[in-house]
Structure 1
Amino acid sequence: MSKRVDKQLEEKINQFCMVTGASQRDARKYIEKYKGTEPALNAFYNDMSTRSTAAPSSSKLGQLFDQYKDADGDEISADGTLKFCEDLAVDPEDVVLLAVAYELKSPRMGEWTRKGWVDGWKAVGADSIPTMKTALLRLRDKLGSDPGYFQKVYNYTFEFSRPPGQRSLGMDMAKPFWGLLLPHGLQGGALSHTPSTRDGDGDDRMGGVEEGWQDAYMEWWFDFLDEKKLKGVSKDVWQMFLEFVRTIDAKFEKYDAEAAWPSTIDDFVEYARNRLASGQ
């Protein structure tokens, strides 16, 4: 076996161990048996699910919560969240943490209550760092591939990240969340294109393959928002934008201006059509 192959195997084993918490020996066994990291991970999680019959422990979750909670309170805040992410080997800005926030009913970004923590992780089926790592992989896949689940997490993101007492979400928060969520949903299929059954004039259109939202349009949307100098996003715009991304055709020809779209989206369609016409 060449040094290059040895190095590739070692990298796969290290990645497997980091994600699952398994030993080097077990990681090598799964990698060599299933000839790749992804099938090996799937097999490991299937085996783990088969072996694990005990329900998650409230006591274990409470003890784990105590490791991360504030010294002078009974909630986990920013410092504890950073330590938790470090132990999970996950970036604090990873999109999967938005799914975790939804599951644990996080009241605000980077904050967790004891009740939400215990009830949420029990519902997910995890009560330790290794089982939570496994849960994150399931949640990441579900977030990317399940349209209904994606929408729930997407809508919850607006609620838990909005400043207390504010009706809108600041643009400095909205744009990064869009930048995390939408590419994940588009890549995984949760935001697969759903063609409108009517064209822009309200007439029924013929069926057929239709291209939808393009990757470049995310930057167009951000450029448009910057030009408009909007400071915040309303709940209506946030929620309707998701439906817009799912249904709009690639050339913005089928957009129904008479439908109940927010004016911000109406204006963006005009902006996008102009960019398409000018070849920008």
Structure 2
Amino acid sequence: MAKGEDIQSWFLEYQDMNRDDGKNIIVPEGFEKLCEKLDYSMEDINPMVLLWRLNGLELGTIEYTGWESGLREMKAKNEDELRQAIDDTLKRFDKDPAYFKAFYRRLFDYLRVGKQKFISSEYATAILSLVMDKGWAFSKFVEFLEASKDVETVNRDQWQSLLELSKVIKPDLSNYSKEDAWPGLFDRFVDWMEASNSKTAA
């Protein structure tokens, strides 16, 4: 594993040097630079996975302590090994639902602004579009949000419950009940799906 000074010097390549609060932090500009070095498109899921594995505080922001512990956990001491660790993480998502769930839940915190208790529907659709293969409801919910212009935000309960919906409810909705404790928005989502399916059948 890389020595502490190697980890620190690597961090310095991306650290915000214009701070006057003494904090050792990578800000979005530096994070984008790191992603470019790794050949990651900011339109892909890889930057989000990277942020998570480096214990990012918020979107594009990483403290040195998170950077150091993340690299040590991944046993990555250079760009090639870091890239491989992220690839391995993506593969593990497919084999370990609980591991993906931890990542998925953290995404909400990265997407919200400040301490807001919701994220914009625009952000929600953008990220869900990158993980559609992890749950049947993701692609349908994206279509629903795009068709429902009055639904401007998604709260934490709705975000987290969407993954659970994909796990326990059948794609044909045959076991969905409005009497169950799903977020109220999901009743509207299901009504929209049923109406869409009826139009398709017709």
The TM-score with structure 2 as length reference comes to: 0.88
User: How do residues 57-206 of structure 1 correspond to structure 2 at under 5 angstroms?
Assistant: 57-73=3-19, 74-183=24-133, 185=134, 191=135
Unaligned runs of 5+ in 1: 1-54, 186-190, 192-212
* CA displacement at 1:68 relative to structure 2: 0.9
* CA displacement at 1:72 relative to structure 2: 1.2
Q: Which amino acid aligns with 1:118?
A: E
Question: Against the structure 1 CA distance between its residues 151 and 128, is the aligned structure 2 distance closer, same or farther, given a 3 Å change threshold?
Answer: same
Q: Which residue of 2 aligns with 1:239?
A: 160
Q: Is the partner of 2:128 in helix, strand or coil?
A: helix
Which of the two has higher C-alpha Rg? 1
In 2: Cα distance, 1:92 partner to 1:56 partner: 27
Number of corresponding residues: 196
* CA displacement at 1:260 relative to structure 2: 0.5
In 2: Cα distance, 1:123 partner to 1:137 partner: 15
**Does the aligned pair in 2 maintain the 1:170–1:233 contact within 8 Å?**
yes
In 1: Cα distance, 2:75 partner to 2:176 partner: 43
Q: Is the partner of 1:233 in helix, strand or coil?
A: strand
Residues 174-223 of structure 1, C-alpha deviations (whole Å, 9 max, x = no match):
1111111233x2xxxxx4xxxxxxxxxxxxxxxxxxxxx37xx71x4234
Q: Which residue of 2 aligns with 1:254?
A: 175
In 2: Cα distance, 1:77 partner to 1:93 partner: 18
Q: Which amino acid aligns with 1:87?
A: K
* CA displacement at 1:251 relative to structure 2: 1.6
* CA displacement at 1:227 relative to structure 2: 1.9
**Does the aligned pair in 2 maintain the 1:88–1:133 contact within 8 Å?**
yes
* CA displacement at 1:228 relative to structure 2: 5.2
**Does the aligned pair in 1 maintain the 2:27–2:60 contact within 8 Å?**
yes
More moved, 229-238 vs 131-140: 131-140
Q: Which residue of 1 aligns with 2:198?
A: 277
Residues 201-253 of structure 1, C-alpha deviations (whole Å, 9 max, x = no match):
xxxxxxxxxxxx37xx71x4234224251111111000001111222222211
Matched, 1:222 2:135: no
Q: Which residue of 2 aligns with 1:3?
A: none
Q: Which residue of 2 aligns with 1:25?
A: none
**Does the aligned pair in 1 maintain the 2:129–2:142 contact within 8 Å?**
no
In 2: Cα distance, 1:247 partner to 1:56 partner: 43
In 2: Cα distance, 1:246 partner to 1:228 partner: 27
**Does the aligned pair in 1 maintain the 2:28–2:61 contact within 8 Å?**
yes
Query: What stretches of structure 1 move > 4 A for 4+ residues in a row?
Result: none
Q: Residue 264 of structure 1: which of 182, 185, 197 is its match?
A: 185
**Does the aligned pair in 1 maintain the 2:31–2:60 contact within 8 Å?**
yes
The TM-score with structure 1 as length reference comes to: 0.65
Q: Which residue of 2 aligns with 1:201?
A: none
In 2: Cα distance, 1:60 partner to 1:110 partner: 22
* CA displacement at 1:93 relative to structure 2: 2.8
